[in-house]
């Protein structure tokens, strides 16, 4: 089944153009009122006193071409159907409606349909008395033996450079000459892991999983070679080597990193890093992107374009524009790290002994180790079956440190803080962090002079604050909170243990969970099963109370 966001395929392009007109912050775009079949987006602030710049082609390459219409770039864009050249009539009407005595330059990507339709429209316009010139962008170097190199993302650079010259009021001959210099100085190469998804059609899966296609065209045309890799370093090396060979000796360059539509920002950032750590980086002085300038719908791929820099290009590329699709130029600067002070998380303490505390720590840790299989079996019914292993891992870490006499047993605030620190590193997932919050916060409260029950209750409150669990949410809080409340009220460990058991028993009757993996299960899966964490709390308090 096709997956494409649209209402009706026949209206897709026209409705998308309306969205572009609505989204320009300068309110400087209009569509010529020539019916649904002729789609020409023009500058509303154009007065025909300067050379008009017209480009266009098939839709599906957004923001090209309508996204480059505006002050400083194109005067008009002629939009065809998806990946289809606009008609001769559409191009001719664009010429007639925006061209004055200064003349018009057509900037065309080198595809057969565009060459023919724009070319014939230019000839017809000349017969009507208009001054029209045409330049052909052919920046794709992926197919070196092709006598007709394709026009791809480098087209946007030509739009910008020619647009600056036109905005400055230069003659048609001068604008054309500068545009041609930019074309001659531009080289591009693209790569994709998968072709694009056309509206209403299935995706072409010709590129096998784990492979990539070097030189895939912006309409999904086959490239020059299929690579048996998607490794970022290997791919970047191949592409930058080819670009370096195309760059004239002694020339410095601007690099355009263009998203073909389907690359994530994360992947584009990695791509940028790989390219700028290649030998080619020594010749790059300016960057554009990573950005989407000339896309291929949602093609999972990207292209790299090099512009061999000349003095006139610098000012043109940096000049301000009022268009939706352009991305700013910036100077390339290597990474530099800022000095920083590293915060040491390890506690500074001296091991000490306390027989009573040692006995409690030994009993609790051994209980959790002994409960490992039972808790895992319980958790397998309502979670992912690892609660016992998680608690046991933390218990073994603490028990081992005690056996090696590496615990501050006679400094309870420091002991709790140390337990919190170590649980965060050894217990997996959120459980370790939550228990670390509890013990760390309790240790801080003890340091301030609180009694142990009050300190543990404070730790529980902080754990609830960050974790989001409350009594009734079917977690260990249902057993731990009533037990600690009993201790805070001055009750014995036996009373606290009984409160923990009642809380744990109650979780078996709760019809839904509000936290943890159990929150994704239905009532039937939970009914009659105690929460593993609550059961662990129940058993620990029973052991401490000697029950």
Length of the chain counted residue by residue: 547
Is 30:41 a contact under the CB 8 Å cutoff? Answer: yes
Question: Which distant-in-sequence residues (6+ apart) come within 8 Å of 20 by Cβ?
Answer: 29, 41, 62, 66, 67, 324
E strand spans, 26-152: 29-31, 40-43, 52-59, 76-82, 104-109, 132-137
Query: From CA 186, how far away is CA 249, in angstroms rounded?
Result: 14
Query: From CA 334, how far away is CA 281, in angstroms rounded?
Result: 10
Secondary structure element (H or E) that encloses residue 304, with its range: strand 300-308
Distances (CA, A) of 21 to 28, 42, 230, 375, 492: 8, 10, 38, 61, 74
Query: From CA 112, how far away is CA 119, in angstroms rounded?
Result: 10
Q: What is the 3-state secondary structure (H, E, C) of 487-511?
A: HHCCCCHHHHHHHHHHHHHHHCCCC
Enter the tokens of residue 149: 């190199």
Question: Which distant-in-sequence residues (6+ apart) come within 8 Å of 259 by Cβ?
Answer: 268, 289, 290, 291, 292, 295, 302
Is 85:57 a contact under the CB 8 Å cutoff? Answer: yes
Indicate the DSSP class of residue 306: E
Enter the tokens of residue 123: 């000839």
The distance from CA 330 to its chain's CA centroid, rounded to whole angstroms, is 21
Query: From CA 151, how far away is CA 217, in angstroms rounded?
Result: 9
Is 356:505 a contact under the CB 8 Å cutoff? Answer: no
Enter the tokens of residue 244: 């370096």
Is 353:410 a contact under the CB 8 Å cutoff? Answer: yes
219 noted as active-site residue: yes
Q: How many helices (H) and strands (E) does the chain have?
A: 18, 13
Query: From CA 378, how far away is CA 511, in angstroms rounded?
Result: 17
Query: From CA 274, how far away is CA 45, in angstroms rounded?
Result: 42
The distance from CA 164 to its chain's CA centroid, rounded to whole angstroms, is 33
Query: From CA 153, how far away is CA 138, in angstroms rounded?
Result: 10
From the candidates 61, 65, 197, 219, give the one annotated as an active-site residue: 219
Omega into 97 within 30° of 0, i.e. cis? no
Please list the residues that pair with 516 across neighbouring strands. none
Q: Hey, is 259 helix, strand or coil? A: strand
Secondary structure element (H or E) that encloses residue 254, with its range: strand 253-259
Enter the tokens of residue 171: 């003659």
Catalytic machinery residues: 219
């Amino acid at each position: 089944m096709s997956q494409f966001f649209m209402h009706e395929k026949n209206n897709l392009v026209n409705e998308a153009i309306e969205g572009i007109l609505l989204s320009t912050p300068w309110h400087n775009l209009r569509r010529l009122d020539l019916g649904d079949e002729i789609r020409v987006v023009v500058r509303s602030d154009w007065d025909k006193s300067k050379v008009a710049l017209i480009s266009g082609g098939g839709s599906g390459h957004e923001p090209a071409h309508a996204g480059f219409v505006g002050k400083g770039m194109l005067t008009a864009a002629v939009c065809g159907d998806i990946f289809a050249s606009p008609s001769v009539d559409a191009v001719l009407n664009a010429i007639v409606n925006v061209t004055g005595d200064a003349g018009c330059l057509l900037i065309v990507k080198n595809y057969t349909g565009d060459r023919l339709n724009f070319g014939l429209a230019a000839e017809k316009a000349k017969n009507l008395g208009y001054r029209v010139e045409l330049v052909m962008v052919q920046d794709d170097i992926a197919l070196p033996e092709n006598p007709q190199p394709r026009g791809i993302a480098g087209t946007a650079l030509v739009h910008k450079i020619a647009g600056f010259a036109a905005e400055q009021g230069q003659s048609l001959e001068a604008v054309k000459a500068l545009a041609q210099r930019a074309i001659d100085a531009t080289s591009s190469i693209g790569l994709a892991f998968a072709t694009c998804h056309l509206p209403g059609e299935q995706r072409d899966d010709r590129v096998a999983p784990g492979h990539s296609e070097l030189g895939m065209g912006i309409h999904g045309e086959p490239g020059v070679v299929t690579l048996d890799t998607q490794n970022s370093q290997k791919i970047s090396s191949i592409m930058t080597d080819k670009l370096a060979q195309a760059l004239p000796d002694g020339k410095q360059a601007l690099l355009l990193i263009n998203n073909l539509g389907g690359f994530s920002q994360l992947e584009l950032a990695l791509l940028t890093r790989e390219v700028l750590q290649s030998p080619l980086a020594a010749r790059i002085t300016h960057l554009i992107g990573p950005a989407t300038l000339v896309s291929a719908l949602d093609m999972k791929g990207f292209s790299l374009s090099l512009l061999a820099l000349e003095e006139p290009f610098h000012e043109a590329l940096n000049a301000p524009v009022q268009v939706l699709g352009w991305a700013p130029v910036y100077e390339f600067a290597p990474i530099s790290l800022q000095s920083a002070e590293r915060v040491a998380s390890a506690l500074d303490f001296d091991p000490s002994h306390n027989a009573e505390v040692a006995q409690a720590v030994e009993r609790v840790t051994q209980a959790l180790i002994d409960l490992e299989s039972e808790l895992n079996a319980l958790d397998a019914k309502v979670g992912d079956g690892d609660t016992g292993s998680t608690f046991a891992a933390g218990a073994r870490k603490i028990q081992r440190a005690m056996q090696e006499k590496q615990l501050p047993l006679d400094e309870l605030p420091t002991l709790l803080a140390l337990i919190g620190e170590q649980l965060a590193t050894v217990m997996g997932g959120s459980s370790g962090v939550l228990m670390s919050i509890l013990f760390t916060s309790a240790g801080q409260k003890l340091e301030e002079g609180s009694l142990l029950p009050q300190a543990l209750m404070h730790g529980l409150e902080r754990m609830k604050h960050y974790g989001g669990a409350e009594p009734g949410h079917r977690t260990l809080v249902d057993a731990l909170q009533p037990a600690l409340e009993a201790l805070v009220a001055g009750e014995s460990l036996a009373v606290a243990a009984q409160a923990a058991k009642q809380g744990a028993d109650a979780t078996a009757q709760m019809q839904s969970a509000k936290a943890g993996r159990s929150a994704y299960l239905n009532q039937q899966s939970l009914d009659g099963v105690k929460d593993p964490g609550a059961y662990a709390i129940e058993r620990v308090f029973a052991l401490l109370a000697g029950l």
